Amino acid sequence: MIIESEKREWLLRCQLSTSPRRSVLRRITAARDFLPDNSCFFSPTTCHVAAALSMSTDDEKLLRDNLSALGYGDIVTIAYENTDRDKAGMCIASRVRDDRLQIAVVLRGTSGDEWYSNFDVGYSAEHSGFANAADFAELRLGDYVFTHAIGTEPEFFVTGYSRGGAVANILAKRLCDRYGLERVCAYTFASPSTTLSRRTNRYNSVFNLVRQEDLFTRVPPEGWGYTKYGKNISLSHEGDMTAGYRRLTGEDYIGFTRQSAVDSFIAAVYDLAPNVNAYYRRRRQVGDRKLSLYEFMTSVAHMLSQNMDDDAADIFLSAMASDYADLLNFLSSGADLNDLITSSSAIPRCSVADSHSPAAYLASLDAVIG
């Protein structure tokens, strides 16, 4: 819905959780438009719009409604019934403003077997799983541009949350390389790290909103050389986000309020796997088998993708008496391990999940950016 007044105003709905399904209405205002005239300057308004879009991707209809409210048309959703771990659910839409074609690209967070891709770091310059998904997204976007941007150079508004943020980060970098920084405006949320490149700062129209208390934003570890394209903006250590979380959800926040817990987890990861090669090849005893950290995290992917079987459950239980015990204790903090193993939810509620949740990011945005 667009309400005309002295300022422009948009009412967008953000999804807080899928089980139970909860959402919140966000009122966003701007003097002229929600996209900035210069994409290389951070815009709080654009940030809030991007958050609303990226945090409504689990509900295809809700995402379409939000894009329509912003004036976008020709809306196309792709791979929403995806069963391929190396693809990415995405939505593409377009609008014309001041005789310029503006294309919005919204990348969905992790769904189903995409969890396996999240843990497949690989040996290339970019995280293998995210780069493969960005390849898919880039091809689908190319098809859209070919049919919608005849005779004109389009502008791009790119956003995503979690895995969608990582794919958006790589895709935005590629669009900057092809079309120029001034034609790309990208805001990612809760994105894992994506690249080994040392030339990331030049992509100054890409903004990554992160919470240091959120484990997902800090893996693969910086000690392995990983970072993100663009500029990271911290949402930590300012304001009281816990009160905002309670207002949004009606529940107490059980996530981490300090980054020290995540620091300890990252240190434990370094001890187990000081580099990518060790992540894949250094094996440790778990029950009657030996597993690398990658193989252990694949068992985590079984749980998160709801492909849990007796073998994976046995690995979890055996891991409690193995070198992976500290990692498992951290990942299950705030929840009972048996509840995690048997939960019908893809991401059962626990401290790690709460710290990464859309509600935590919306509350942090309100506390830090306003």
324 and 211 in a common domain? no
Residue of 230, 175, 183 whose CA lies nearest to 206 = 230
**Structural domain harbouring 67:** 9-253+354-368
Which CATH number do you get for residue 166? 3.40.50.1820
82 and 211 in a common domain? yes
What is the number of domains present in the chain?
A: 2
Within a domain: residue 195? yes
Within a domain: residue 323? yes
What does DSSP assign to residue 215?
G
Provide DSSP, 29-82. EESS-SS-SSTTS--HHHHHHHHHHHTTTTSHHHHHHHHHHTT-EEEEEESTT-
16 and 147 in a common domain? yes
37 and 25 in a common domain? yes
Paired residues of 94 in beta bridges: 73, 103
Q: Are 57 and 89 in contact (CB under 8 A)?
A: yes
264 and 195 in a common domain? no
Does residue 347 carry a pLDDT above 80?
A: no
Within a domain: residue 4? no
Query: Which residue has better confidence, 172 or 22?
Result: 172
Within a domain: residue 220? yes
339 and 204 in a common domain? no
Within a domain: residue 1? no
Per-residue pLDDT tens digits for 275-306: 999 999 999 999 999 999 999 999 999 888 88
61 and 48 in a common domain? yes
Per-residue pLDDT tens digits for 35-92: 999 999 999 999 999 999 999 999 999 999 999 999 999 999 999 987 789 999 999 9
**pLDDT score at 346:** 55
**pLDDT score at 2:** 46
Does residue 30 carry a pLDDT above 50?
A: yes
Residue of 191, 153, 151 whose CA lies nearest to 171 = 191
**Residue 101: CA atoms inside 13 Å, Cβ hemisphere, count?**
17
Does residue 184 carry a pLDDT above 60?
A: yes
User: What's the average model confidence in pLDDT over 225-249?
Assistant: 90
Per-residue pLDDT tens digits for 1-24: 444 445 899 999 999 887 678 899
**pLDDT score at 75:** 98
Within a domain: residue 48? yes
Within a domain: residue 3? no
Within a domain: residue 2? no
Neighbouring residues of 184: CB distance < 8 A, sequence distance ≥ 6: 39, 155, 156, 158, 172, 175, 176, 205, 206
User: Which amino acid, one-letter code, is at 266?
Assistant: I
136 and 21 in a common domain? yes
131 and 198 in a common domain? yes
139 and 106 in a common domain? yes
What is the CB neighbour count within 10 angstroms for residue 322?
A: 18
195 and 118 in a common domain? yes
Share of the chain above pLDDT 70, in %: 94
177 and 158 in a common domain? yes
